[in-house]
C-alpha cells in the first residue's frame, strides 16, 4: 500500500482589512506522481508573525479551483482526498479567522491513473436448498474502480478444490447444482484486464429437506391417557405432484435419536407417561430427501378410553354403491359396547354429519366420486373418546356392486359385475395356515408389511397353490366360498367384455369397470448354485394375477402401471403372485 501524499500548504497571513502580512507557500510531496487509487493528504499551515493566533481560523477546500467550494468550513486544518480521475488539478484552500481575516492559497497537483483490484461480492439464490436445487450465484454487486463488469472475468470454484468449474468474462451470473448435502465453500475470483484480482469465499448450506413432501399426522386415541397405546399415523402424507410416490418414515421423541427410515407410517408408544410430548416425523421421498413435522401430544392421567374401530362392507365402490359402516367392534374396558355412543364424519372434513347415538350401524351413498376418510368417534359413559378412520374410494361409475364375506377370517370383499361375471373388486388377502408346506410359506405380505396387504392383498406361491389348492373341494379352494381362481378362459371373457385395446385403462384403479387392478408386485425364489435367494420386486409398479391350473409353468395376467393394455405371460411356479377371484357359475 502506498503512503498517502502529504501536501503542506503554508499560508502566510495577508491582511484583508489591517496591516499586510506576507504569505509564504511551501509544499512537501512524498511522491511526484500521485495516482487515482491513493488518498492525498493536504494540510493548511499559517506562517507569519510569532504572535499570530492560528486557533481562530476555519478552513474550506476547492479541489479544482472552479470557485465552487467542495467542503464546508471546519476548524480542522488537514484533509484527505482521492481523485477519481487522472489529470492536472489546482487545489484552493481558504482560511477565515473569527475576526474576519480571509486568506487563500493554491497548489498545483498532477494525478496519474492508478489501478486497483476489483472488489468481489455475490449473493446466493436461494440461500439454501437440497441436491435437486439449481442455485444461482449473482456477482452483480462486484465493483471495480477503473473498469465496468463487462471487462471483468468471473471464476467460480464450487467445491473449494482451487479448480474453477466456471470461468466467464463479462458474465457475473453462474448456476450450479450440488451433488450432495453439506456446507459447501464457494470461491469467487474476479480479475480485471490489468490482471489485478481479488477473491471472496462464502458458504452454501445444502440440506436434505424437500418442501414438496407434505407430512400429514393424526393421532389415536384423540385424547390419549397414560394407560393407552399412543399411535401417530403419517399414512396420509404425500408428495405434491406425485401422490402415488411410496414414502418412508422416521420418528423421534424427546431427545432420543431418529429411528431408521422404514415403510411403516405408524409410530406406536404403549402407555406413554403423563406429560406433554413433542414427537417429530421425517417423511422421505424416493430420492432420500425428507420433510419434517412436529406434533404435540398431551397425555393425561385418566381412566382408560374406548378403542374406536370401524368395520365396513366394501372399500371400493361407485356412486351407486351402498356403503355400510359399523362401530360395534369398538370396545371400552369399563363399558359394554351397548353403552358406547358414536358419531360420524363421512367426508373426513372435520364436520360431524351425525350426533352421538347408540345406533352404531350406518349406511351411506356417496353421490360424488372421490377418496373419503370416513371418521367415527366413539364415546363412553365418562365422555372419553377415540377416533377411527376408514378409507373409502368412490368411482364416478354405476356398475352393479355388492360384497361377500370370507367365513374363514371374516374379511369382507367388494364385488363388481362386468358382463355376466362377478369379480372381486380387490385382491385376495386370506392368510392361510403357515404349517405343512416345509420351508416355503404359501402366502406373503410384500416386505412382510401387513399394511401393504391391507392395500394390495397377499401374494401366493404358485407351486403350493398347484398342489394344495386345486379347487377340487371347498377345503382345497384358495378363494372364498362360491368363488375360484380364474382360468385363462375366465380372463378372456372379461377382456372380451371390456375390450382388449384399452383393457389396462378400463380395469385399472379408477377405470370405468370398477375392477380396480391393484399393483401388488411379485416375489420369487432364485437359485444360484448351492443357495437360494428370495427377491420381492415391483410393488405399486406391476400386477401379476395367477390363473388356474398351475403346472410346470404358470400363466399370469400382467398389468403395468399406466399401461393401456394387459397381456398374458408365462412365469415360474416358484413365484408369488396376486389372486383375483371370480364367482362360480
DSSP line for 291-325: EEEEEEEEEB--PPPPB---EES-SEEETT--EEE
Average pLDDT, the chain: 89
With H, G, I as helix, E, B as strand and everything else as coil, classify residue 446. helix
Rounded distance between C-alpha atoms, residue 393 and residue 318, angstroms: 8
Q: Say yes or no to pLDDT of 1 above 60.
A: no
Q: Say yes or no to pLDDT of 3 above 50.
A: no
Mean pLDDT, residues 390-396? 94
Q: What is the pLDDT of residue 19?
A: 42
Residue 423 and residue 515 in contact, taking contact as beta carbons nearer than 8 Å: yes
Residue 423 and residue 410 in contact, taking contact as beta carbons nearer than 8 Å: no
Residue 455 in grid coordinates: 392395500
List, for residues 492-537, the tens digit of each pLDDT value.
999 999 999 999 999 999 999 999 999 999 999 888 887 889 999 9
Q: Say yes or no to pLDDT of 20 above 50.
A: no
Q: Say yes or no to pLDDT of 112 above 90.
A: no
Rounded distance between C-alpha atoms, residue 37 and residue 206, angstroms: 40
Q: What is the pLDDT of residue 49?
A: 67
List, for residues 344-380, the tens digit of each pLDDT value.
999 999 999 999 999 899 999 999 999 999 999 999 9
Give the pLDDT band of residue 439 (cuts 50, 70, 90).
low
Rounded distance between C-alpha atoms, residue 154 and residue 169, angstroms: 6
Give the pLDDT band of residue 295 (cuts 50, 70, 90).
very high
Measured between its terminal Cα atoms, the distance across the chain in Å is 101
Rounded distance between C-alpha atoms, residue 530 and residue 528, angstroms: 6
Nearest residue to 8 via CA among 34, 43, 47? 43
Q: Say yes or no to pLDDT of 239 above 80.
A: yes
Give the pLDDT band of residue 10 (cuts 50, 70, 90).
very low
Rounded distance between C-alpha atoms, residue 168 and residue 149, angstroms: 11
Give the pLDDT band of residue 6 (cuts 50, 70, 90).
very low
Region label for 517, one of left (φ > 0), alpha (ψ between -120 and 50) or beta (otherwise): beta
Rounded distance between C-alpha atoms, residue 319 and residue 325, angstroms: 16
Q: What is the pLDDT of residue 13?
A: 32
Share of the chain above pLDDT 90, in %: 67
Nearest residue to 428 via CA among 449, 448, 447, 444? 444
Mean pLDDT, residues 554-558? 96
Give the pLDDT band of residue 264 (cuts 50, 70, 90).
very high
Mean pLDDT, residues 71-76? 92
Give the pLDDT band of residue 471 (cuts 50, 70, 90).
confident
Rounded distance between C-alpha atoms, residue 184 and residue 201, angstroms: 10
List, for residues 135-180, the tens digit of each pLDDT value.
999 999 999 988 899 999 999 999 999 999 999 999 999 999 999 8
Q: What is the pLDDT of residue 434?
A: 61
Residue 191 in grid coordinates: 480479475
Residue 375 and residue 387 in contact, taking contact as beta carbons nearer than 8 Å: yes
Longest dimension (CA), the chain: 140
Amino acid at each position: 500500500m502506498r503512503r498517502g501524499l502529504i501536501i503542506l500548504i503554508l499560508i502566510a497571513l495577508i491582511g484583508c482589512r489591517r496591516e499586510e502580512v506576507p504569505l509564504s507557500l511551501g509544499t512537501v510531496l512524498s511522491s511526484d506522481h500521485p495516482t487515482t487509487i491513493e488518498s492525498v493528504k493536504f494540510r493548511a499551515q499559517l506562517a507569519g508573525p510569532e504572535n499570530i493566533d492560528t486557533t481562530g481560523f476555519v478552513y474550506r477546500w476547492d479541489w479544482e479551483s472552479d470557485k465552487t467550494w467542495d467542503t464546508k468550513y471546519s476548524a480542522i486544518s488537514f484533509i484527505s482526498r482521492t481523485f477519481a480521475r487522472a489529470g492536472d488539478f489546482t487545489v484552493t484552500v481558504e482560511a477565515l479567522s473569527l475576526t474576519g481575516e480571509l486568506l487563500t492559497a493554491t497548489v498545483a497537483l498532477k494525478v496519474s491513473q492508478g489501478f486497483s483490484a476489483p472488489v468481489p461480492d455475490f449473493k446466493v439464490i436461494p440461500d439454501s436448498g437440497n441436491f435437486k436445487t439449481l442455485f444461482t450465484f449473482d456477482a452483480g454487486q462486484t465493483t471495480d474502480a477503473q473498469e465496468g463488469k463487462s471487462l471483468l472475468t468471473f471464476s467460480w470454484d464450487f467445491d473449494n478444490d482451487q479448480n474453477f468449474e466456471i470461468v466467464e468474462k463479462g458474465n457475473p451470473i453462474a448456476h450450479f447444482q450440488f451433488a450432495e448435502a453439506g456446507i459447501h465453500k464457494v470461491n469467487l475470483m474476479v480479475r480485471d484486464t490489468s490482471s489485478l484480482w481479488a477473491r471472496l469465499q462464502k458458504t452454501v448450506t445444502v440440506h436434505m429437506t424437500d418442501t414438496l413432501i407434505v407430512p400429514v399426522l393424526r393421532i389415536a386415541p384423540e385424547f390419549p391417557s397414560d394407560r393407552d397405546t399412543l399411535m401417530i399415523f403419517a399414512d396420509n402424507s404425500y408428495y405434491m405432484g406425485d401422490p402415488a410416490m411410496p414414502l418412508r418414515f422416521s420418528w423421534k421423541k424427546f431427545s432420543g435419536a431418529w429411528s431408521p427410515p422404514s415403510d411403516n407410517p405408524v409410530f406406536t408408544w404403549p402407555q406413554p407417561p403423563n406429560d406433554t410430548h413433542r414427537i417429530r416425523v421425517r417423511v422421505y421421498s424416493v430420492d432420500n430427501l425428507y420433510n419434517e413435522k412436529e406434533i404435540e401430544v398431551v397425555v393425561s392421567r385418566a381412566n382408560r378410553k374406548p378403542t374406536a374401530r370401524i368395520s365396513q362392507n366394501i372399500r371400493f365402490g361407485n356412486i351407486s354403491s351402498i356403503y355400510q359402516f359399523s362401530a360395534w367392534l369398538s370396545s371400552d374396558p369399563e363399558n359394554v359396547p351397548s353403552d358406547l355412543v358414536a358419531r360420524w364424519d363421512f367426508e373426513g372434513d372435520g364436520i360431524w354429519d351425525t350426533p352421538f347415538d347408540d345406533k352404531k350401524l350406518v349406511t351411506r351413498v356417496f353421490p360424488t366420486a372421490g377418496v373419503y376418510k370416513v371418521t367415527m368417534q366413539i364415546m363412553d359413559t365418562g365422555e372419553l373418546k377415540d377416533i377411527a378412520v376408514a378409507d373409502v374410494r368412490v368411482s364416478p361409475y354405476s356398475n352393479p356392486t355388492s360384497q361377500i364375506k370370507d367365513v374363514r377370517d371374516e374379511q369382507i370383499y367388494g364385488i363388481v359385475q362386468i358382463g355376466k361375471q362377478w369379480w372381486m373388486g380387490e385382491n385376495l388377502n386370506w392368510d392361510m395356515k403357515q404349517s405343512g408346506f416345509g420351508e416355503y410359506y404359501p402366502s406373503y405380505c410384500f416386505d412382510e408389511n401387513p399394511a401393504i396387504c391391507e392395500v394390495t392383498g397377499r401374494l401366493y406361491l404358485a407351486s403350493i397353490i398347484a398342489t394344495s389348492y386345486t379347487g377340487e373341494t371347498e377345503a382345497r379352494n384358495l378363494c372364498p366360498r362360491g368363488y375360484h381362481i380364474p382360468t385363462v378362459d375366465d380372463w378372456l371373457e372379461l377382456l372380451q367384455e371390456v375390450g382388449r385395446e384399452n383393457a389396462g385403462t378400463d380395469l385399472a384403479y379408477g377405470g370405468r369397470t370398477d375392477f380396480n387392478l391393484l399393483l401388488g408386485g411379485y416375489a420369487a425364489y432364485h437359485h444360484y448354485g448351492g443357495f437360494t435367494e428370495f427377491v420381492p420386486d415391483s410393488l405399486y409398479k406391476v400386477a401379476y394375477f395367477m390363473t388356474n391350473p398351475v403346472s410346470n409353468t404358470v400363466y399370469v395376467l400382467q398389468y403395468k402401471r399406466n399401461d393401456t393394455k394387459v397381456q398374458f405371460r408365462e412365469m415360474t411356479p416358484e413365484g408369488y403372485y396376486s389372486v383375483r377371484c371370480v364367482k362360480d357359475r
